[in-house]
Amino acid sequence: HRDLKPSNVMLGDFGEIYVLDWGLVKLIGRLGAADRGLVDASNAATTGQGSVLGTPGYMSPEQLRGEVDRVDQRADVYSLGSILFELLVREPLHPRGATKEKLISVLTTDGARTRSRPRGLSVPDALDDLVARATRLHPEDRLETASAMSEAIEAYLDAPG
């Protein structure tokens, strides 16, 4: 997707989740037989090395640095981790407003911890660990896919107690 942020994730009337604004989507990997014909690659826009597209407070460090060859599904995992952080702590992972401070925060925060924000909120360790694993600086240190993140959340929800 490459531009996941709270305003691009909507909740439906029956609890379903909708992801909006597919303008920066880039297909990664090979198309399967069922996918052929869905995409006309001859007209696809390309993202050049050094291009920065997305929303700074939610984009991954590699995306912010314009390392388009390193932007893959783990960049979306980073964005989802930033959104989860905000849901749990009720404030964004990276500073609002001032762009310089926000950019520095994106490039230096490695494995965000919800408990680092003193707001009197009690975030379960499993969710704090999930946010930390999703927001690692280096993509190879993050959860591999959004599906893996979803499975971790479901395991937390299904756990006794």
**Exposure on the CB side of residue 104, measured as CA atoms within 13 A:** 6
**What are the residue numbers of the active site?**
3
Q: Smallest Cα–Cα separation from 2: which of 57, 72, 61?
A: 72
| Contact yes or no for 24/103 (Cβ under 8 A) | no
| 3 state DSSP class of 133 | helix
What residues contact residue 8 under an 8 Å CB cut-off, 6+ apart? 1, 19, 20, 21
The CA distance from 140 to 124, in Å, is 25
